[in-house]
Amino acid sequence: MRKYGLGLFTAVLLIALVVAPMAQAQVTLKFACWDYELNQYDKKLIEEFERLNPDIKVEVYDMPASEYPDKMLIMLAGGEDIDVFYAKDPTMYGGLVLRQQIRPLDDLIARDNVDLLGYGGNLENVRVDGTVYGLPYRGDFWILFYNKDLFDRFGVPYPTNDMTWDEFRETAKLLTSGEGADKTYGTYIHTWASTYFVYGLQKHMGDLVEGPYEMLRDGLELAYQIQMVDKSAADYATNRAMGAHYRGLFEQGNIGMLYMGTWYMQALLHDAEQGLHNVRWGIARLPQWEGLPHATIGNVTPVVINSKTKHLEEAWRLVKFLSGPEGASILAENMIVPGYFDDSVFDTFAQVEGFPSENMDALVTETVYMEWPAHPLSGLLGRMVEEEIVLAMTGNKSIDQAIADMEVRREEIILLNQ
């Protein structure tokens, strides 16, 4: 016993000597994101970061995706000391910049010589008045998903990368048939406002803060015709009242085409892995307007640092990891389009099992417009545009009237928020 005693004592002392300073030096960072447990890829990122940085412990605040922006704003307003978090959309990002809740990163980028080339056009979308306040962690954009089984069943050729919206509408009609449980729909138009205004932004007429709302007319008309006249998609009111979700609907296998963001690729693969669906899916570029150059709509997710952080150096290391090449490769393995995008991302995608690698071209983009610019009024205008779109899509107002009212209400919002 005595013999062991001395050895044990020495061992404990040694461990204490080694561990104690480490424990002391370990910094705890508070990090907020959405659906951490549900989606798993953020978890993989954080675990890898902790492995590479043993001196930093990351405490995760996990929130449901739909509540994330509101909850985050309330937490920040309440003085919660979150160090690093994602700005889920440009509206949230713009607000954070406006209120100086996040720290400009230009000095740190210059000091550490961060390679910005990999961000491509995404960088422009995190720059506000010339200053970068966050680095792009994800760089999603809208594409067209389709159900190959359904196209095969109706003998309709698969959508191509140069499909126009008129062709989209005609194809949707061909895929619509049946009643009750056998009912198939050509497409599904999700209940977000963005699903109804992506077509407008493709008109190259500017953004929804400063551009004319006239740009929305053809798109709203298209959505209205598809839902109310062709009936090749369920209408807005039905979807809204049922709390419909594109994920479940497309995976049931009776929706032919779904235009949605690239974020859905990961969910499709994940759900197939879980045995939730066996849809054979393909992707194509977002359909375009006849005679106009192609454009898609993007949504960059920046990772940002709370301007009140007490652990700036550690927070900055986490930001660099999440938005840099290391983070990008983990994201790509999980079928997420990273903000840092190079050829290795395509290579990684091609190796992911279940990914339709023959459709890889669908992910090549030329022009990517943002859903909303990082502008102080994006939030208020976004709500207003959504209200008017809903009125037009539920038949409470004509499309012309809704567009006219949007213009009037924009003037009012600008006037009241000078």
Partner 1 sequence: MKRTTRNRLVAYSFLLPNFIGFLVFTLIPVLAALGLSFVKWDSYSPMQFVGLRNFQIMLKDSSFKIAFWNTLYFTGLTVPLTIVVSLMLALALNKGLRSVKIFRAIHFFPHVASTIAVAVVWQFLYHPDMGPLNQFLRMIGITDPPRWTASTTWAMPAVIIMSVWKSAGYYMVMFLAGLQGIPPHLYEVATIDGATVWQKFRYVTLPLLTPTLFFVLTMNLIYSFKVFDQIYIMTQGGPGRATMVLVYYIYMQAFINQNFGYASAMAAVFFLMILGVTIFQFRLQEKWVTYLD
Q: Which stretch binds partner 1 (CB under 8 A): 151-159, 214-222, 248-256, 385-393?
A: 385-393
Site string for partner 1, 307-326 (x = CB under 8 A): --------------------
Beta carbon nearer to partner 1, 125 or 191: 191
Beta carbon nearer to partner 1, 204 or 240: 240
Binders in 199-258 for partner 1, by CB under 8 A: 236-238, 240-242
Min CB(296)–partner 1 separation in Å: 28
Instruction: Return the closest-CA partner of residue 143 out of 315, 20, 285.
Output: 285
What are the residues whose beta carbons fall under 8 Å from the beta carbon of 260, sequence distance 6 or more? Answer: 142, 143, 145, 190, 246
Beta carbon nearer to partner 1, 19 or 414: 414
Contact pick of 28, 357, 396, 398 for partner 1 (by CB under 8 A): 396
Q: Which stretch binds partner 1 (CB under 8 A): 139-147, 175-183, 320-328, 377-385?
A: 377-385
Min CB(90)–partner 1 separation in Å: 16
* Residue whose token pair is 């992506």: 198
Instruction: Return the closest-CA partner of residue 296 out of 163, 385, 133.
Output: 163
Is residue 220 within 8 Å of 386, Cβ to Cβ?
no
- Residue 99 touching partner 1 (CB under 8 A): yes
- Residue 394 touching partner 1 (CB under 8 A): yes
Binders in 123-162 for partner 1, by CB under 8 A: none
Is residue 193 within 8 Å of 318, Cβ to Cβ?
no
The string of DSSP letters for 39-98 reads H-HHHHHHHHHHHH-TTEEEEEEEE-GGGHHHHHHHHHHTT----EEE--SHHHHHHHHH
Min CB(69)–partner 1 separation in Å: 9
Min CB(269)–partner 1 separation in Å: 31
Beta carbon nearer to partner 1, 61 or 158: 61
| 162: β partners | none
3-state secondary structure of 53: coil
Instruction: Return the closest-CA partner of residue 214 out of 406, 412, 383.
Output: 406
Beta carbon nearer to partner 1, 153 or 183: 183
Is residue 90 within 8 Å of 371, Cβ to Cβ?
yes
Beta carbon nearer to partner 1, 292 or 414: 414
- Residue 398 touching partner 1 (CB under 8 A): no
Is residue 332 within 8 Å of 118, Cβ to Cβ?
no
Residue 220 to residue 225: CA distance in whole angstroms = 8
Instruction: Return the closest-CA partner of residue 89 out of 41, 30, 136.
Output: 136
The continuous run of DSSP H or E covering 345 comes out as helix 343-351
- φ, ψ of residue 105 to 5 degrees: the values are -110, 0
Min CB(178)–partner 1 separation in Å: 17
Residue 223 to residue 246: CA distance in whole angstroms = 16
Total binding residues for partner 1 by CB under 8 A? Answer: 30
Binders in 52-91 for partner 1, by CB under 8 A: 70, 73-74, 76-77
- Residues near partner 1 (CB under 8 A) are 70, 73-74, 76-77, 95, 98-101, 236-238, 240-242, 379-380, 383, 387-388, 390-391, 394, 396-397, 409, 412, 415-416
